[in-house]
Amino acid sequence: MKDIPHPITEINSKFITELTSFIRIRGLSYSTEKTYIHWIKRYIRFCGYQSRQDISSADISRFLEHLVNEQNVAPNTQKTALNALVFLCRELLKQNTELLKFKRAHKGPKIPVVFTHQEAVSIINHLLMPSKLVAQLMYGSGLRVNEACRLRVTDIDLDKSSVTVRNGKGNRDRKTLLPYSLHTQVQKQLEMVSVLHDRDLDNGFGEVYMPYALAKKYPTQAKGYGWQYLFPASRLTVDPRSGKTMRHHIVDRTVQKNVSLAIKQAKIIKKAGCHTFRHSFATRLLENGTDLRSIQELLGHSNIKTTQIYTHVAGLHHSGVKSPLDS
């Protein structure tokens, strides 16, 4: 249950308890919470701070340059560390961070790797359920692997052929399309979930994790069919906060491992993984004439510039340009 927030009462450090509480009050996602705490702990160790009063934004530049010069981190890694430390000093400690100057890590623009349609289908055909359906949703709906694994029954709308992604990257919700070709398989998966849920209820279980204390507000919903995961785990586990025995969803690591094996079995030599299906989804839409704004909404990108990178993948950035050798 790595994507479920652990109780604050389990944290030993008074300062980390304060920081964690502050992050959760601000409504940041749990993955962001873990990332920020990781970098803040590294910053504290690097600077040798002994108390809350010692922490200073003046040391951020030195730490970020250390990451580049000594640790050789990627630009995105340095940017993530910067975001975490600015959040710490500016938001929590109310310090001025506007005058930060440091050496930035640089990299050239990187074009995403994508599968051809034949490659994507070949990889999917090497997968077994439920990883196969997860991969089909990544390719057919543009989902991230963790978004697919966390889907609930209520997120599937067969009538409108849509999928609702809740608490995606940036803690944003969005709707994307559900391929008509997957309706039969999704319906079978829903029926399997229903049978498994009924069995859990008969055995005195059937409750699932609900975010934002919704289980207290709607105590009966935690055992409702609609809140059950579309891809339930094969066994029951103990919730680390409540101590209750629940059925969580399959973990993304399992799907990632299975997809990596399927890529090898399909004899595809590209440096690819689960996220390549999402890149391929966007590229196919562009090739089929879908406008960038629609693709941005389906992918959940906050900035259209992120979506524009796929014009390079699809070759649309030079659409209509003719090589002089072909004249």
Q: Model's pTM, two decimal places? A: 0.77
Q: Where are the alpha helices (DSSP H) in the chain?
A: 14-25, 30-47, 60-69, 75-86, 117-125, 131-141, 145-149, 183-202, 214-217, 252-265, 274-287, 292-299, 304-314
Query: Which residue in the list 247, 278, 279, 284 is annotated as catalytic?
Result: 278
- Residue 149 domain-assigned (yes or no): yes
One-letter amino acid of 176: T
**Packing angle between helix 75-86 and helix 60-69, nearest 10 degrees?**
160
Distance CA 118, CA 125 (A): 11
Q: Are residue 263 and residue 177 in the same domain, yes or no?
A: yes
- The predicted-structure confidence for 53-89, as pLDDT tens digits, reads as follows 999 988 998 999 898 888 888 888 888 999 999 999 9
Question: In this structure, is residue 98 part of a structural domain?
Answer: no
Q: Mark whether 143 and 273 lie in a shared domain.
A: yes
Instruction: Looking at the structure, tell me whether residues 295 and 147 fall in a common domain.
Output: yes
Q: Is 24 among the catalytic positions?
A: no
Average pLDDT over all residues of the chain: 87
Could you say which of 169, 175, 223, 312 is catalytic? Answer: 169
Helices (H) and strands (E) in the chain, counts: 13, 5
| DSSP annotation of 41 | H
Q: Judge whether 94 counts as a catalytic residue.
A: no
Q: What is the pLDDT of residue 267?
A: 96
- The answer to whether 212 is a known catalytic residue is no
Active site residue 275: yes
Q: H/E element holding 153?
A: none
From the candidates 144, 152, 247, 284, give the one annotated as an active-site residue.
Answer: 144
Both structure tokens of 139: 């390719």
CATH number reported for the structural domain that contains residue 84 in this entry: 1.10.150.130
Residue 278 falls in the annotated catalytic set: yes
Residue range 94-150, pLDDT digits in tens: 988 887 776 666 666 678 899 999 999 999 999 999 999 999 999 999 999 999 999
Which residue among the candidates 197, 248, 279, 301 is catalytic per the annotation? 301
Catalytic residue among 34, 79, 241, 275: 275
Number of folded domains in the chain? 2
The yes-or-no answer on residue 144 being catalytic is yes
